[in-house]
Amino acid sequence: MADEMRVPISTDADIITARQKGRALAEWVGFSGSDLTIIASAISELARNIIEYAGHGEIIIRLAERGARRGIVIVARDDGPGIPDVALAMQDGYSTGKGLGLGLPGARRLMDEFEIVSEVGKGTTVTVGKWR
Amino acid sequence: MRVPILKQGDYLIAPIQSALSDADFLRMQNELVDQVGKLRSRGVIVDVTALDVMDSFATRTLRSTALMTRLRGAETVIVGVQPEVAFSMVQLGLTLRMEDVETALDLDEGLAFLDRQTKG
Ligand SMILES: Nc1ncnc2c1ncn2[C@@H]1O[C@H](COP(=O)(O)OP(=O)(O)OP(=O)(O)O)[C@@H](O)[C@H]1O
Ligand SMILES: [Mg+2]
């Protein structure tokens, strides 16, 4: 299996593809059970945000190594409208759409590492990681 | 992947068989709300055993399906949420939003619940 996979995201079917590929790479890295579901759920939330708010973008799934530890890193990036107030967007229940406002804060709770960089008019990049 | 909708007595059963796209979820919702009226069903069971992920969209759609069918006179029960799925739903913060949706362990429990609700 390749160390990195890129999944273009532009339709709701791509969300399924992204989480299946993420799950496969995570399994290969050695994750199991609830970790696989957690990783797939985080990918699902980030991919859906790309479609809902940016229209299209991509999910990059890569194998990560830090010393003896192995893990998985997922980058969700788009060139969409960006997020004016990231701190607000990270709050539970905050949504500018018809969502529950749980995607971003939920993904942060699910994963070990979470970083978001967003610039209005330029786009949004969310990077999450999980370690074994 | 289309979800079949099966009629069993007074109930409808929607056994989800693989990962569903958002469009598939919405189609299942429309069909259930529609069929509940056509077949005068009293209860609906959505079996999610085959789902390896229930994200915010899936949860929101199942919840609104339950609320819509209730307005049409049928109670909906979600059955088969897998342990790992339950675990990640709680982490995501999704459980609160499921509060007004009935759940049961499996199909048998779901049927027993509906019998108690509608024939009690
Ligand atoms: N990729 C993105 N581009 C632009 N805005 C975004 C992006 N991702 C999230 N947002 C903004 O951040 C808000 C919060 O996102 P979050 O995923 O937490 O909730 P939601 O998508 O509104 O609802 P849910 O994910 O629970 O269905 C969104 O309503 C949107 O305004
Ligand atoms: Mg979201």
Q: What is the pLDDT of residue A15?
A: 97
Min distance B54 CA to chain A CA atoms (Å): 7
> Chain A contact for B112, CB < 8 A?
no
Q: Which helix (H) or strand (E) holds B24?
A: helix B22-38
**Domains of chain B: which residue ranges?**
6-109
**Largest Cα span, chain B:** 39
Q: Out of 1.10.287.3510, 3.40.50.620, 3.30.750.24, 3.40.50.720, select the CATH number for domain B6-109.
A: 3.30.750.24
Region for residue A33 given its phi and psi (left: phi exceeds 0; alpha: psi -120 to 50; beta: otherwise): left
User: A105 C-alpha vs ligand 2 centroid, how far in Å?
Assistant: 9
For ligand 1, atom 17, name the residue with the nearest CA. A103
In terms of Cα–Cα distance, which of A4, A91, A89, A88 is closest to A52? A89
Identity of the residue numbered B98: M
Contact (CB<8Å) B19/A16 = yes
Which regions of chain B are under pLDDT 70?
Answer: 96-98, 120
Output the CA A89–ligand 1 centroid distance in Å.
Answer: 7
Q: A17 versus B96: which is more confidently predicted? A: A17
Atom of ligand 1 nearest to the CA of A49: 8
The mean pLDDT value for A22-45 works out to 96
Q: Which domains does chain A have, with CATH numbers?
A: 4-131 (3.30.565.10)
Element (H, E) at B25: helix B22-38
Cα B21 to Cα A36: distance, rounded to the nearest angstrom:
19
**Chain B closest-CA separation from residue A88 CA (Å):** 17
- Tell whether the model's pLDDT for residue A4 goes beyond 60: yes
The shortest C-alpha distance from A71 to chain B (Å) reads: 18
pLDDT at position A100, please? Answer: 87
Q: From atom 27 of ligand 1, which residue's Cα is the shortest distance away? A: A99
Q: Residue B96: its pLDDT value, please?
A: 56
3-state secondary structure labels for all residues of chain A: CCCEEEEEECCHHHHHHHHHHHHHHHHHHCCCCHHHHHHHHHHHHHHHHHHHHHCCEEEEEEEEEECCEEEEEEEEEECCCCCCCHHHHCCCCCCCCCCCCCHHHHHHHHCCEEEEEEECCCEEEEEEEEEC
Radius of gyration of chain A (CA): 14
Q: Beta strand A123-131 with A69-78: parallel, antiparallel or unpaired?
A: antiparallel
Chain A interface includes B100 (CB < 8 A): no
Of A99 and A110, the one with more pLDDT: A110
